[in-house]
Structure 1
Amino acid sequence: MSVDLMTLQMSAVFALIVAALLLYATDKLPLELTSFSVICGLLVLFHFFPVYDEAGKAALSPMVLLAGFASPALLTVLALLVLGEGLSRTGVLDRVALLVHKAARGQLSAALAIALVVVALVSALLNNIPVVVIFVPIMQALAAQTGRPSSRYMIPLSYAAILGGMTTLIGSSTNLLVSNALADLGEEEFSFFSFTVPGLVVAGVGMIYVLFICPRILPDNAANSAQEGATGKQFKADISLEAGSPYVGMESVSGFFPGLKDVTLLAVQRDGKPIYPPFDDLRLKIGDTLSVAATRDQLRATVKDDVSALYPRLSGRAGEDDWLPNLGDGTQSMAEVMVKPDSWLIGRNLRQIGYRNMRHVVVIGLERRTRMQRLKIDEIPLEAGDILLVQGRRSDILALRGNKDVILMEWSAENLIQSHHATRASAIFLGVVGMAATGVLPTEIAALCGAALMVFSGALPLQGAIRALDSKVVFLIAAALALGVSMQETGGAAFLAQGMLAAVGDAEPTVVLGVFFLMVAVLANVLSTKATAVLFTPIGVGIAREIGVPVEAFAVAVVFAANCSFASPVGYQTNLLVMAPGGYRFVDFIKAGVPLMLICWLTFFLFAPWYYGL
C-alpha cells in the first residue's frame, strides 16, 4: 500500500469524524440519520479504497464495520435499558428514592446530592452501567419532588458514575484493559488500589463541579418539563376504602388525618352524606369514600399504586364490571384528556354519561382551573376545559385521539406501576448484578438473560420492553465503533500520538505527561473508552521508557484520560443511558463535559508530578 493511499484513507476518516461531530453538535439532522450516514460513508470509502492486513485480507470489510450492531456493548446497554424499565414499572426504584429522601431528612436538594455521591461510591466497586440504570428513575423521582426538571441531573448522574469508576481497578472495564495491556508489555499490572489515591483526588475535585456547577449549565428540557409539569395539576378524586385499606381505622388528630398529609382531604363521604373538615373525632371505616385533591403522583402514592381504589363505584348495571382495567396484565396506562368546547359531555356528570363512554377507559380524577367542588367526582357537571384523568389499556387511550368530545393530552400518558411484581423484578436485577460482579457470567450474558426474564416473568410486558429500546443508542454505538476501528486500522490514532511527541519535543516530563493526558482525553470522546485505552497504553509506556520516567504515571494517565469521555454521548455507555431520559442533544454533553474534562486534566497535571516524583 502506498503512503499516498494510506494518507487518503486516514484523511477521509478524519473528515468523517469532523463532519459527524459538527452534525451531532448542531442537531441539523436526526442523530440516527447522522450515525447511519457515517456508517454508509465508511462502507463506501473502504469498498473503493480497502485497507489490508498483514495476511492480505480486507481489515475494514463490511462485516467489521457493521459489527457494532451486534457488539456486546450495544446488546448490554439495550438489555440494561429493559431491566431498568422493569424496575421502574414495578416501583422498586421509588422505594430506593424514598430511602435516599429519608437519609436527607426531608431536604430534597440534599437528597439529590446524596444520591450523586452514593452513585460515585458504588461505582468504585460495581460496573457503572447497572448503577446508572438503577439511579436514572431515582433521580427522576427526586427531581420531580423538588419541582426541578430531571434534565438537570441525568448528565451529572453519568459523570458521578464515571468519576467513581476511576478510583479502583474494578471500577471500570477500561481500568482492567489498561492493566492487562501493561502485563502484555512486560510491566507490572495494577493492584486493586494502585491508583486509588490520585483517583480520589481527581474524582473529588470533579464531584464538586458535578454537584454545584454542572446542573446550572444543563438545559430545562422542554419535553421533560412538560411531562413533569403535568404532575403538578391538582385533580379531584374519590378514594374508596375497602377491606384491607391502610386508611381503615385511621383517626383524625386536631381536625386532620396524619396519614393523608400528601393530599388535601376535601370531604369524607359516608352513607351518602358528606362530612367536611375540620374532622373532629372521626374514625375512617370500610365503605367511606375520601374526596381528595392531589397531583397524579400524590394520588398514586396515597393509594399505594392500587389505582383500583380510585375507580368510581359503578351503578351495578349488567356488564359494567366486565371491562374494568386489569392491573395484572401490565398494560395499563394513565393519561389526561380535555373536554372540548363543543363536547356532548358538557353539563353532564360521569354518572349520567356512563363510565364506558370513552372507549373502555375509566375516569379516576378531574381537574378544573376555576374552583374545586366538594361533590363526588361522578356528581360534578363537566365543563369545557375540564381535565379528566383516565386509566385504561394504552391502545384504548391512544384511540381517544379520534374522539369528538375530548382531546388527548399526548405528553400526559404514562405507564402504571405494577407494584405486585416488585419482588420478582428486584430478584432478577440483583441476580444480574451478582452474576456479573462475581464473574459467574459475563455482563452481556447476564444482562440479556435478565431482560428476557423480566418479560417471561410478567414483570414487564413485551411492548414495554420494546418501547424501552432507544434507536439513538443503537446507531450511536454502531457508528462510534465503526469510526474507532477505522482510526486504528488506517493509522490515524498512531499519527496523532506521533504528532504530539513531535510537538512537545524535549519538554519536561511533566509537560509531556500533561499533553499526553489531554490528547487521550480528547480522543476518548471520539473513540470508545475501551478502544482508547487499548490503543494508547503501549504508546504511553513507550513514551515513559523513552524519557526515563516511571511507567505507572503514564499508565494511570491512560486510565483517567480514557475515562474522561464527558463531552460526548458516544464515548461512554453511561452517557448513552442518560441521553434519552434527559432528552439531551449532542451539544449538551459538550457544554457540560468539556469543563469537567479540563478540570480532571488540570487536577491530574498538578497532582501527578508530585505523587509520582517526576
Structure 2
Amino acid sequence: MPGPPSLHAAAAMALTVAMFIAFARGTIKPEIISLVTIAIIALGLYFYPLAGTAPTSGLELAFAGFGHPALITICALMIMGRGLVVTGALEPATLFLSRIWKINAKFGMLVSLMLAMGMSMMINDTPVLVLLLPVFVQLAERGAMPASQTLIPLNAAVLIGGMATTIGTSTNLLVVSIAEDLGMEPMRVFDFTHIVALAALVAIPYLWLVMPRLLPDNGVAAMRTHRRFAATLRIDNDNELIGLSPRDLADRLPEGFAFEGSQDRPISANARLPVSGTHRALDEVMRMFKARVAPAWVVERIRTAASRQGADVVVVEMAVTADSRLVGLTIPTSGVAGQYGVAVLGVHQLQKGENTGRHEYSELTLRVGDVLLVMGSLVEIEEFANTERLLLLKGAQEVPRRSKAVLAAAIMLGAVLSASIGLWPIAVSALGGAIAMFVTGCVKFDRVGRALSAKVIVLVAASIAIGRIILESGAAEWLGLLLSAGLQHLPAAAVLACVMLFVTLLTNFASNAAAATVGTPIAMNIAVTLGLPLEPLVLAVLFGCNLCYATPIAYQTNMLIMEEGQYTFADYLRTGVPLVLLMATTLSILLVFFYGM
C-alpha cells in the first residue's frame, strides 16, 4: 500500500471534492464557485508553492486556464456558431430535420442520435457538436422537443460515437500513442469499433427514451410567449402561389400560421392576403413562398439605411401605451413608415373585435395594449418608441443576413474539415474560423458578447486549474498507486471495471488528457503484474476517458451545451451517472467476453 498523500495532493483532492459538492448543491452560482476555486488555488500555491517551484508559478497554474487552447477553442466555436445562426446558414438543415421530427418526435430523436453517433466516429467530437448544436436549438424554437431535453442526450451520443475509433477523439489517439511507446502492438482505426457498437445498442434506449424525461424543460423557447399577429401577405406578380388557393397550401404551412377569410378563393397576382401567425411562422412563410408582409419600398428603405449606418436590421415587439398618439389610428393613417423609416409587420390585439382576422391588419384600429411587430434599424426603432410612447416588450431579434449564409457555412465547414483531417489542431482552425467570421462580416465584432458566455468561460478556466493541480500535486499518481495495490486479489473482470471507473473518475474531475496520461501506464503496469493481456486494460483506459457524462467540466462539449440548455450541475449528475454506470458495466463485460478473460 502507498503511504499517505503529500500535503499538496491531499489539499488538491479536498478542493476537488468541495467544488463538486458546491456545484451539486446548486445554491451558489457556478461562476462564483469557479472563481473562488481559482482564487484558492492561486493563493494557496503562492503562499505554499509546490516543491521546486516559485510562488509565482502557482499563480500561472491557477490562471493558465484563461489562455488555455481549450477555452480559446470553445469561445471561437461559440462565435462561429453565432455566425451560422445570424446568417440563416442552418435553415436548410433545420428544415430537413424538422420534417423528420414532424413525422414523429420519437423517430426524430432516434434519427438525430444515430446521426450524431455516426458522424463522431470519423470526425472529432467537438466539430460534430458545433455543427449540430445550433440546428437543435432552432428545432426547439420551431416546436420540436425543447433544447434542454435534447442537447445532453445528443452530446452523449457524440461522445459514445467518438470512442468507437482511434481517430474519434484526440484522447483516443493519446492513449494509443502512450501504449505504443510503452511497448504494446499498434491499434488500427476500427480494432474496437464492434465493442463500442454493441455497448451503444444498450445505451441508445436510455439516451432516447429515459434521459429526456430526466431533464427539465428549462430552455429559452419554453419561456417565450408566442403572440399571434394579424398581418397582410403580399404576393408579387411572378409568385409560384398564383392560381392556388389557401386550402391547397394547408399541408405546407408551418405551425402557428393561418390564412384568414375564404380558403377556396384562388390567389391572384399582386394579391394582399389577410393572415395571422407567430413571428417565427410569418418569417418562415415569407422565406418558403418568397412573399412579404411589408411594402417593398419600406423594406428596401430600411435595408439601405441600415447598410449606410453599418447597423443590423432587427425586429422587436412593442406595446401601445395609453399615452401613445397611435391609439385610435390604423397603421396606414399613422404614417409611421414615412416618418420613422420602420415597417409594422403585424398587430396583436389584446382585445379582439368580432371582425378581427376577416380583414387586413392595416384596417385594424389600434387600442391600448395592442402589440406591434416592428422591423427597422435600432436607431429608427428607438426613435419610434420614444416619440410614440411605445413600450419595448422583448429584446431586438436580428433579421438573418442571408446574403452571407453560404459564406458562413463555408467558413464553418472549412474549420471543421481542416481539424478533422489533422491539417491543424481544432484550436487553430476554430480561431481562424472565428476571425474569418469577423473579417467577412458574418459576425459583427460588437455582437460578440451575445455569442460568449461568462459562466462557461470561468467554468472552463476553473476545470483546467483543477486538472493541473490534481496532476502536478501528485494526487493522480497517488490514487493510481492506491488502485494498483487494491486490485491484486480481484478477478480479471473486476480489475477491468475498476481501472475503467478509476479513469472515469479522473476524466470527470480533472481532464481527459490527465486521465489518459496517468491511467495508461498504470493499466499496463497492472496487466504485467497480474499477468493479464495488455490490450483490454488499455482499452479500459481509453473507454474510461470517454465516459465523461457526469459533470459539465469533464469535456469541452459538455461546456458548449451548458448555456444553450440552461443546465445546472445537477442535470449532468442526474443523467450522466446512470449512463456512466451503464456504459462501464457493458464495456467491461464485452471486454471480458471478447478477450476471453
Work out the percentage of aligned pairs sharing the same amino acid. Answer: 29
Aligned to 2:360: 376
Q: How does 1:384-403 map to 2 (within 5 A)?
A: 384-394=368-378
Query: Structure 1 residues 507-516 or 140-149, which shifts more?
Result: 140-149
Amino acid at match of 2:8: Q
Q: Distance in 1 between matches of 2:449 and 2:123?
A: 27
CA offset digits 1:573-592 (Å, max 9, x no partner):
11111111111111111111
**Partner-residue secondary structure (3-state), 1:191:** coil
Change (3 A) 1:515 1:320: closer
User: Equivalent residues in 2 for 1:124-523 (5 A)?
Assistant: 124-221=121-218, 223-227=220-224, 230=225, 232-242=226-236, 245-247=239-241, 250-253=242-245, 256-257=248-249, 261-262=253-254, 263-266=257-260, 276-280=261-265, 282-285=266-269, 287-304=270-287, 309-312=292-295, 331-341=312-322, 343-355=324-336, 361-371=342-352, 372-394=356-378, 405-410=389-394, 413-523=396-506
Q: Secondary structure at the match of 1:66?
A: helix
Match for residue 9 of structure 1? 8
Q: How far did 1:223 drift?
A: 3.8
**Amino acid across the alignment from 2:343:** V
Contact 2:125 2:158 in 1 (8 A): yes
Distance change in 2, residues 1:609/1:92 (3 Å): same
- Which digits, 9 at most, give the CA deviation of each residue in 1:326-365, with x for residues without a partner? 5996722222222335544332222233326997643211
Kept in 1, the 8 Å contact 2:73–2:427? The answer is yes
196-205 vs 76-85, greater mean Cα deviation? 196-205
The answer to whether structure 1 residue 82 and structure 2 residue 63 are counterparts is no
Letter in 2 for 1:431: G
Deviation at residue 368 of structure 1 after TM alignment: 2.5
SS of the aligned residue for 2:227 comes to coil
Separation of aligned partners in 1, 2:74 and 2:358: 49
Instruction: Please give the alpha-carbon distance, in whole angstroms, between the structure 2 residues aligned to 1:213 and 1:457.
Output: 43
- Could you say what secondary structure the match of 1:19 adopts? helix
What is the root-mean-square deviation of aligned Cα atoms in Å? 3.0
2-side partners of 1:466 and 1:537: how far apart?
40
Tell me, in whole angstroms, the C-alpha distance in 2 between the residues paired with 1:377 and 1:328. 30
SS of structure 2 residue aligned to 1:169: coil
SS of corresponding position for 2:191: coil
| Residue in structure 2 matched with residue 52 of structure 1 by the alignment | 51
Local SS of the residue matching 1:28: coil
Q: Which residue type is aligned with residue 264 of structure 2?
A: F
CA deviation map 1:52-98 (0-9, x unaligned): 35xx6679532233221111111111111111111122222221122
Partners in 2 of 1:462 and 1:85 — Cα distance? 12
CA distance in 2 between counterparts of 1:310 and 1:328 reads 24
Q: Distance in 2 between matches of 1:526 and 1:542?
A: 23
Assess if the C-alpha contact under 8 Å between 1:120 and 1:161 holds in 2: yes
TM-score normalized by structure 1?
0.88
**Whole-angstrom CA distance in 2 between matches of 1:7 and 1:83:** 44
Amino acid at match of 1:385: G
Q: Measure how far apart 1:196 and its partner are.
A: 0.8
Quick one: structure 1 residues 81 and 101, their matched pair in 2 at CA, closer, same or farther if it must change by over 3 Å?
same
Distance verdict in 2 for CA 1:113–1:520, change over 3 Å = same
C-alpha distance after superposition, 1:551-591 (max 9, x if no partner): 11111111111111101111111111111111111111111
CA gap 1:122/1:490 in 2 versus in 1, 3 angstroms: same
Whichever residue aligns with residue 229 of structure 2, its letter is: F
Q: 1:59 to 1:181 in 2, by over 3 A?
A: farther
Contact 2:166 2:173 in 1 (8 A): yes
Unaligned runs of 5+ in 2: none
CA 1:393–1:29: 2 relative to 1, 3 Å: farther
2:511 and 2:554 in contact (8 A); partners too:
yes
Paired amino acid for 1:180: S
Deviation at 1:501, TM superposition (A): 3.2
| Worse-superposed segment, 371-380 or 596-605 | 371-380
State the 1:400 CA deviation: 8.2
- Closer, same or farther in 2 for the Cα pair 1:306/1:529, shift >3 Å? farther
Q: Which amino acid aligns with 1:349?
A: T
Contact 1:349 1:378 in 2 (8 A): yes
**In 1: Cα distance, 2:204 partner to 2:84 partner:** 27
Residues 58, 532 of structure 1: alpha-carbon distance in 2 compared, 3 angstrom cutoff:
farther
Counterpart residue identity of residue 243, structure 2: E
Cα deviation per residue 1:172-214 (whole Å; 9 max; x = unaligned)? Answer: 1110010111122122232101221211122222222111111
* Conserved? CA contact 2:302–2:341, under 8 Å: no
SS in 2 for 1:304: helix
Tell me how far 1:43 sits from its aligned partner: 0.8
Looking at structure 2, the residues matched to 391 and 447 of structure 1 have their Cα atoms a distance apart, in angstroms, of 33
- Equivalent position SS for 1:335: strand
Unaligned runs of 5+ in 1: 267-275
- 1:597 is displaced (CA, Å) by 0.7
- Shift in Å, 1:50: 1.0
Query: How far is the alpha carbon of 1:166 from its aligned partner?
Result: 1.0
Deviations 1:472-528 (A, max 9, x none): 221111111111111111111122222233344411121121122112212211111
Question: Relative to structure 1, is the Cα distance of residues 343 and 33 closer, same or farther in structure 2, using a 3 angstrom cutoff?
Answer: same
What corresponds to 1:269 in structure 2? Answer: none
Q: Is the 8 A contact 2:276 2:357 kept in 1?
A: no
For 1:111 and 1:538, the matched residues in 2 are separated by 42
TM-aligned CA deviation for residue 395 of structure 1: 6.2
Contact in 1 for aligned 2:149/2:212 (Cα 8 Å)? yes
Maintained 8 Å contact 2:438/2:445: yes
Could you tell me how far apart the structure 2 residues matched to 1:309 and 1:444 are? Answer: 42
- My pick for the range that moved more, 131-140 or 121-130, is 131-140
**1:1-46 deviations in Å (ceiling 9; x for gaps):** xx99x63222221222122222222233322222111111101111
Query: Which residue of structure 1 aligns with residue 526 of structure 2?
Result: 543
Gap change, CA 1:435 and 1:223, over 3 Å in 2: closer
**Alignment correspondent of 2:119:** 122
CA contact (8 A) 2:240 2:289 kept: no
Deviations 1:434-486 (A, max 9, x none): 21122222221111111111121122222333421121221111111111111
Alpha-carbon contact 1:52-1:59 (below 8 Å) kept: no
Structure-2 residue corresponding to 1:27:
26
Give the SS at the match of 1:525: helix
